[in-house]
Chains A and B, each alone.
Chain A
């Protein structure tokens, strides 16, 4: 074997590993290692500046769990998460349902509802905290014109959660609507024809055909918003100028609490890491819980057997592909990519 051939052979064998190596190296250093290291730090007394000051077992966890602020932050996180996720997904399905029609200027409407997605959460929060200001806010001024009393958006825990949930919903509803819309367009028409033949009305078709067919997509959206929602930081942090979650911690969330422990006056990386791990476990638990729950809700309708469904979807895609030439721009890209 000549030198050149040997080099070529080496190139052939090693190249694939070289090509995937960057991902694994960077992920190992900045993703995996920190996650495991977090566990290590959480069992130590660890100061932001002083560093490791010795092993102290479960102390950090015990201390954190005894702090009233931890429980307040837990409550706030869940409250904001539920107030944002539930209406957001319902609204997204509704928007997708309306978008899934033979509209004029399809792309305009799709871009219109996606617009908030390109705005930074920090900017969204600044705008909304002005809209929802207690004294000089637009929302309270309008309520005043309607003869209603002002709402204490920054003083009441519940109303602050509503305001913050609004920021989240503003940014993500359109994005989720487009994801759901894509799945809606993949539902084979024959299912609706069959339902019509069976005498099902439009509402009935929506519940018994559309929703069950969207099952995996809704699951994806729910789990995504669970992972993101439980880590919420930007919006509550920017809700007032102090960034401490309100005078009585009305809108202190777990990630804000983590930040306060580590970078606030306590400078305790040990406790911050303990919160990180508790939060990680909660997210795991809730992601699997929402997985099970969504599966149940979404499968309550009638549903074709798994293999037929897959075959049908394949067929629908093939139809899309052939139709791509003479339908909208949106379809062309879909057809080309599927």
Chain B
């Protein structure tokens, strides 16, 4: 029941007898039970959600099923049975020993995503703290500029970015993927919004009075206060970096791939052996699935929060 459902008498007074009768009928039928979070879901709602979750999960399970099978089996049965077979370990061993260095790609992805997340969180918190709590000339204009850059599709600068990286001798090196991703306009915006509300001026003043330098104040007062938003930003950045393909594909190529690039190579070289390719998919996806199981709640909360601000 909703907290403030209007009484029938009130409906009759404001909207007339017919509306009141209609409302009474709706209530009696139980069709109207509040709105939004107050509304009780019917069985149809649950069936719909179960279907949605199954559709979300099945393709991943399908990849897992193929990864536990073998090429002959897959060719014979396009619709795999729902019970996994026992060749997962074997397939993963094969994929790790194939010509494509999946282990190396795994560590590359780990390094890139780790460094990028740390760097984005640190620089975003630093800038967010300055934008929300420090007074300086041009603050509003600069913040508007940061937000405006979110609308520019960065992918379109790939040609000159590649030229720059080639001149620096960075093509094929992880640093070419890391440096352009080290800051994020979204991150700055996100942290500015959060710190604005989460950190009272009194705390900053107290630290200043105690004689802390500006950076010391940031490090011991602002950074701890920003932790919840910072961990969410780290999560988003990690997922985004781990799943990124276009730029690593162009600048790293086959020499020193990250996981998505290695998957592409795997698919191109072993296109007949889907048990091998899917084993690669499983290897590339499981770490993020584990992260999702551990921190999915925060990820969900982060998306919900970002939306209200966006």
**Residues on A close to B: CB < 8 A?**
8, 11-13, 15-17, 19-20, 22-24, 26-27, 29-35, 37-38, 40-41, 94-95, 98-103, 107, 109-124, 126-128, 130-131, 133, 136-138, 140-142, 170, 174-175, 178-187, 189-190, 192-193, 196-199, 201-202, 205, 217, 220, 227, 231, 233-234, 237-238, 241-243, 255, 258-259, 262-263, 269, 272-273, 276-277, 279-280, 283, 287, 329-330, 333-334, 336-338
A283 partner residues in chain B, CB cutoff 8 A:
153
Q: Is the beta-carbon distance between B56 and A115 smaller than 8 angstroms?
A: yes
- 9 chain-A/chain-B pairs, Cβ below 8 angstroms: A20-B127, A26-B123, A27-B149, A111-B297, A112-B49, A115-B53, A186-B308, A259-B250, A262-B159
Which residues from 5 to 32 on chain B have a C-beta closer than 8 Å to any C-beta of chain A? 5-6, 10-11, 14-15, 18-19, 22-23, 26, 31-32
Q: Is the beta-carbon distance between B180 and A26 smaller than 8 angstroms?
A: yes
Q: Which of B34, B40, B78 contacts A140 (CB 8 A)?
A: B78
Q: Is the beta-carbon distance between B48 and A193 smaller than 8 angstroms?
A: no
Within the complex, the shortest CB–CB distance from A115 to chain B, in Å, comes to 5
Which residues from 127 to 164 on chain B have a C-beta closer than 8 Å to any C-beta of chain A? 127, 129-131, 134-136, 139, 142, 146, 149, 151-164
Closest 4 CB pairs of A and B: A34-B157, A112-B53, A37-B160, A30-B180
Interface size class of B (residues with CB under 8 A): 35 or more
Q: Is the beta-carbon distance between A333 and B301 smaller than 8 angstroms?
A: yes
Within the complex, the shortest CB–CB distance from B95 to chain A, in Å, comes to 13
A30 partner residues in chain B, CB cutoff 8 A:
154, 157, 161, 164, 179-180
Q: Which of B3, B45, B60, B274 contacts A98 (CB 8 A)?
A: B45
Q: Is the beta-carbon distance between B78 and A178 smaller than 8 angstroms?
A: no
A38 to B164, alpha carbons, bound, how many Å?
Answer: 12
A107 to B303, alpha carbons, bound, how many Å?
Answer: 13
A333 to B298, alpha carbons, bound, how many Å?
Answer: 9
B5 (CB) vs chain A CBs: closest residue: A193
**Is B121's beta carbon under 8 Å from chain A?**
no
**Is B277's beta carbon under 8 Å from chain A?**
yes
Given contacts A120-B245, A189-B36, A333-B301, contact A23 B274 (CB under 8 A): no
B214 partner residues in chain A, CB cutoff 8 A:
11-12, 15
A115 to B160, alpha carbons, bound, how many Å?
Answer: 35
**Is B246's beta carbon under 8 Å from chain A?**
yes
A107 partner residues in chain B, CB cutoff 8 A:
297, 300
B37 partner residues in chain A, CB cutoff 8 A:
100-102, 185
Q: Is the beta-carbon distance between B136 and A198 smaller than 8 angstroms?
A: no
Q: Which of B26, B55, B152, B159 contacts A31 (CB 8 A)?
A: B152
**Is B63's beta carbon under 8 Å from chain A?**
yes
A220 to B129, alpha carbons, bound, how many Å?
Answer: 26
Interface centre among B63, B134, B185, B300, by most A CB within 10 Å?
A: B300
A316 to B76, alpha carbons, bound, how many Å?
Answer: 58
**Is B215's beta carbon under 8 Å from chain A?**
yes
A116 to B62, alpha carbons, bound, how many Å?
Answer: 13
**Is B103's beta carbon under 8 Å from chain A?**
no
A27 to B136, alpha carbons, bound, how many Å?
Answer: 21
A56 to B279, alpha carbons, bound, how many Å?
Answer: 49
Q: Is the beta-carbon distance between B285 and A120 smaller than 8 angstroms?
A: yes
B52 partner residues in chain A, CB cutoff 8 A:
95, 112-113, 174
B301 partner residues in chain A, CB cutoff 8 A:
329-330, 333-334
Q: Is the beta-carbon distance between A334 and B66 smaller than 8 angstroms?
A: no
B124 partner residues in chain A, CB cutoff 8 A:
23
Q: Is the beta-carbon distance between A22 and B127 smaller than 8 angstroms?
A: yes
Which residues from 168 to 201 on chain B have a C-beta closer than 8 Å to any C-beta of chain A? 179-180, 182-183, 185, 188, 194, 197
Within the complex, the shortest CB–CB distance from A97 to chain B, in Å, comes to 9
A11 to B55, alpha carbons, bound, how many Å?
Answer: 56
B245 partner residues in chain A, CB cutoff 8 A:
120-122, 233-234
**Is B243's beta carbon under 8 Å from chain A?**
yes
B45 (CB) vs chain A CBs: closest residue: A98
Given contacts A102-B37, A120-B259, A330-B304, contact A23 B127 (CB under 8 A): yes
B149 partner residues in chain A, CB cutoff 8 A:
27, 31-32
Which residues from 223 to 266 on chain B have a C-beta closer than 8 Å to any C-beta of chain A? 228-229, 239, 242-243, 245-246, 250, 259-260, 263-264
A278 (CB) vs chain B CBs: closest residue: B156
**Is B93's beta carbon under 8 Å from chain A?**
no
A128 to B66, alpha carbons, bound, how many Å?
Answer: 13
Q: Is the beta-carbon distance between A16 and B130 smaller than 8 angstroms?
A: yes
Given contacts A19-B218, A26-B183, A182-B307, contact A11 B264 (CB under 8 A): no
Given contacts A19-B127, A41-B160, contact A138 B62 (CB under 8 A): yes
A98 to B291, alpha carbons, bound, how many Å?
Answer: 26
A51 to B53, alpha carbons, bound, how many Å?
Answer: 51
A128 to B307, alpha carbons, bound, how many Å?
Answer: 29
Given contacts A114-B303, A118-B289, contact A241 B271 (CB under 8 A): yes
Q: Is the beta-carbon distance between A193 and B41 smaller than 8 angstroms?
A: no
Given contacts A27-B183, A117-B239, A122-B245, contact A175 B303 (CB under 8 A): yes
A141 to B75, alpha carbons, bound, how many Å?
Answer: 12
A280 to B246, alpha carbons, bound, how many Å?
Answer: 17
Given contacts A19-B218, A31-B154, A41-B159, contact A110 B300 (CB under 8 A): yes
Binary interface encoding of chain B residues 50-87 relative to chain A, with 1 for a CB under 8 A from any of its CBs, else 0: 00110111011011001000000011001110000000
A1 to B115, alpha carbons, bound, how many Å?
Answer: 42
B48 (CB) vs chain A CBs: closest residue: A98
Within the complex, the shortest CB–CB distance from B301 to chain A, in Å, comes to 4
Q: Is the beta-carbon distance between B35 and A189 smaller than 8 angstroms?
A: yes
A201 partner residues in chain B, CB cutoff 8 A:
26
Q: Is the beta-carbon distance between B263 and A120 smaller than 8 angstroms?
A: yes
Q: Is the beta-carbon distance between B264 and A122 smaller than 8 angstroms?
A: yes
A39 (CB) vs chain B CBs: closest residue: B160
Q: Is the beta-carbon distance between B127 and A179 smaller than 8 angstroms?
A: no
**Is B39's beta carbon under 8 Å from chain A?**
yes
B53 (CB) vs chain A CBs: closest residue: A112
